Amino acid sequence: MEVCVVAGAGGFIGGHLVSALVADGHRVRAVDAKPLSAWHQRPPAAETCVVDLSDRDACRSVVTGARVVYNLAADMGGIAFIEGNRAQCMLNVLIDTHLLLAARDAQVERYFYASSACVYAAGKQDRPDVVPLAEDAAYPALPEDGYGWEKLFGERMCRHFSEDFGLATRVARYHNVYGPYGAIDGGREKAPAAICRKVITAKLTGDRSIEVWGDGRQTRSFTYVDDCVVGTRLLTSSQVADPLNIGSDEMVTIDELIDVVEEIAGVRLARRYLPAAPQGVRGRSSDNRQIRRKLGWAPSTSLAAGMEATYRWIYDRMVAGQPANPVSSGAAHQPTTVSAGS
């Protein structure tokens, strides 16, 4: 059986992707630089490799015998991490370069690259009532400093490896992916998990207030991780060579996101706004016309449903006093499955 390699398998999205592929009977080589004890999930049926993919020889070793490579490997986190570690984010280009070279040399059939909505120019995201971001809005290029530039460079690498070497590459621009088995604290968590943690803390301690980064009026669309995995697999097995958004188009303010979490928790909290805290762009949402036209599909999990599952998972961990990023010895979260090939 040919191998599917998932780079970044110890991370949040990578762990869900590995679980989905294993559940569908694929042989999976799960690769990450983190020690196994720090992986978000670790399905027992997957082959696990702990290597640093910024090293070219390590990339060569893990793609041996691979038919499909999913590159989700990156040193990244929430807005506080990205804004405070721009050089560190830029160094992800070593992974992008060496893994592409290894895939080319191993004659891999398909290479998937996880890009980001951070490739879009901040000038197109400077107000809450932002126009949803269509794929062609990435140019003229002025992406988010550090992480956004690295991701856009990775996209261009994929394009030129396809043009010059015939490597079939597929690129997704992920938009604010959230769900169970994600980071809860420590600076790498995203807004949905951070808000769940803060609301749960307030509920458990009796403190009826919550700290909010920004003024609460900035807007986002948040993509449930099961939708992200389905979209990733559909895109990888498709004939779509250009980058596609994989993101929800259900745009809400941060205050509205808090409303959703408060409704789930059954509490109402006073909000303490911190306008000087890191908050990123003023508005961001995914334009899904291209993905609907090219794949006949788009993310559909409602924010209310996705946040319900996310809140319940975080609540259980916090009440049990368990670590934020535990290893799962099995695919405890049952992913959505589709007939998406590999």
CATH number of domain containing 137: 3.40.50.720
- Which pLDDT tens digit goes with each residue over 289-331? 999 999 999 999 999 999 999 999 999 999 998 755 555 444 4
| pLDDT higher than threshold 90 for residue 222 | yes
* Domain-located, residue 256: yes
Amino acid symbol at 169: T
Average pLDDT of the segment spanning 55-71: 97
Is residue 116 classed as helix, strand or coil in its secondary structure? strand
Q: 110 forms bridges with which residues in the sheet?
A: 68, 168
Q: State yes or no: is 224 an active-site residue.
A: no
The pLDDT mean for the chain works out to 92
C-alpha–C-alpha distance, residues 272 and 302, integer Å: 27
Distance (Å, rounded) from C-alpha 14 to C-alpha 179?
A: 12
What pairs with residue 248 in β-bridges?
A: none
- 97 in a structural domain: yes
- Select which of 111, 147, 181, 224 is catalytic: 147
Residues with Cβ within 8 Å of residue 39, at least 6 apart in sequence = 9, 10, 15, 32, 48, 327
What phi and psi values does residue 219 have, to the nearest 5 degrees?
-115, 150
pLDDT greater than 90 at residue 14:
yes
Kindly state the average pLDDT of the residues 251-255: 97
Question: Do residues 119 and 151 touch, judged by C-beta distance below 8 A?
Answer: yes
pLDDT of residue 1: 60
Rounded average pLDDT over 141-154: 94
Whether 219 maps to a domain, the answer reads yes
Domain contains 57: yes
Quick check: is 238 in a domain? yes
> What letter would DSSP give residue 51?
-
Residue at 207 is within a domain: yes
**Residue 151 lies in domain:** 3-320
Q: What is the pLDDT of residues 71-130, one digit of tens each?
A: 999 988 777 788 888 999 999 999 999 999 999 999 999 999 999 999 999 889 888 998
Give the integer Cα–Cα distance in Å for 170 and 155: 9
CB 193 within 8 A of CB 177: no
Encode pLDDT of 256-280 as tens digits. Answer: 999 999 999 999 999 999 998 887 8
Q: In the predicted model, is pLDDT for residue 336 greater than 70?
A: no
pLDDT confidence tier of residue 204, bands split at 50, 70 and 90: very high
DSSP 56-103: HHHHHHHTTTEEEEEE------SHHHHHH-HHHHHTTHHHHHHHHHHH
Please count the structural domains in the chain: 1
In a domain, 330, yes or no: no
